[in-house]
Amino acid sequence: MEYSTVGKTGIKVSNLCFGTMSFGGIADETESLKMYHLCREKGINFFDTANVYNSGRSEEILGKCIAESRDEVILTSKVGFPIGKGLNDRGASRRHIFQSVEKSLKRLGTDRIEFYFIHVYDYETDMEETLRALDDLQTDGKILYPAVSNWAAWQMMKALGISERESLARFELIQPMYSLVKRQAEVEIFPFASEENLGVITYSPLGGGLLTGKYANGVKPAQGRLVDQKNYEKRYGDNQYHSIANQFVEFSHKNGYHPATLAVRWAMNHSDVTAPIIGARNCEQLKYSLDAVDLWMDSRLYEEVIAISETPPLATDHSREEDQFKAKR
């Protein structure tokens, strides 16, 4: 396992992060503990959860996992998505953030969370209100750094501007979706993170399971995210994604790789990615993603894999002018 520093924070994390969305859901407590220890044996020290995962059960189980090794691991959690039926049981208001972090800390059995994510953009709360709440939590030591997930580059840049102007704690880690079938992050989010020296942990490197071969050539398995969850079915329903996945799975098998291992390794290889977030329903699944650590990907293999997918269009159509400017510098 190799380790990288998250942006300017000085915190070193493993180049794979384990996401615990399955804890307390499709993975019971016993299997969750086994997966945690398997990750630790492989050298992973970075674990991601959220208050909304299985109604807080994920945090509770992760808290039990880390009880004897809290100072050896780096934790993230999140706030933003609805956690109840109440009018204020959601969003990025000061009230909801303060209530949620206390509950997360209790469930995790810890006094601090290293990176605390705003899970989704809140159109009803003033951004400065959210950033001041996070700054206060950092001052109190309940979180070490604010973080953000599922925001557009312009929204995150606006937040950094407010933080700079008002001398508030800024986002130090971002969490976008990224896989061979979902490469939008390459257009603006990765360049933004590189320019501002932010850590990047990407989720869904397996494309919701699409890149594992589980759904190859129209196969519909008995269980899986694309079968069990409507939002995943919609997210990856485009025929283009399935075509890319089919080609990728065929390429993987032809060259002697497990598709899951190669997909995770490919996501790890991007220079702007601190760590992809891997997840699993059991240890058997998890091992294929963990094997990515031992897979050497040279530039030739990387280019062969990326050629299977379509490169997303640039943010502007002035690429020729940009290339000339770079050449002059």
**Residues annotated as catalytic (active site), given as ranges:** 53
Per the prediction, the chain carries an average pLDDT of 93
Neighbours of 34 (CB within 10 A): 14
Cβ 144 vs Cβ 132: under 8 Å? no
pLDDT in tens, 46-63: 999 999 999 999 999 999
Paired residues of 75 in beta bridges = 47
> Any idea what DSSP says for residue 84?
S
pLDDT at 314: 86
In whole angstroms, give the CA distance from residue 16 to residue 265.
10
Distance CA 199, CA 275 (A): 9
pTM of the entire structure?
Answer: 0.93
Report whether pLDDT(321) > 70.
no
pLDDT tens-digit readout, 248-271 = 999 999 999 999 999 999 999 999
Q: Beta-strand (E) ranges in the chain?
A: 3-5, 12-14, 17-19, 46-48, 74-79, 113-118, 143-149, 173-175, 199-202, 275-278
Residue written as tokens 């800024």? 170
Query: Residue range 229-238: average pLDDT?
Result: 72
Q: What is the pLDDT of residues 103-131, one digit of tens each?
A: 999 999 999 999 999 999 999 999 999 99
- Name the percent of the chain lying above pLDDT 70: 92
Q: Round to the nearest angstrom and report the end-to-end CA distance of the chain.
A: 36
pLDDT of residue 302: 96
User: Hey, how many other C-beta atoms are within 10 angstroms of the C-beta on 293?
Assistant: 18
Domains (ranges, CATH) in the chain? 3-175 (3.20.20.100)
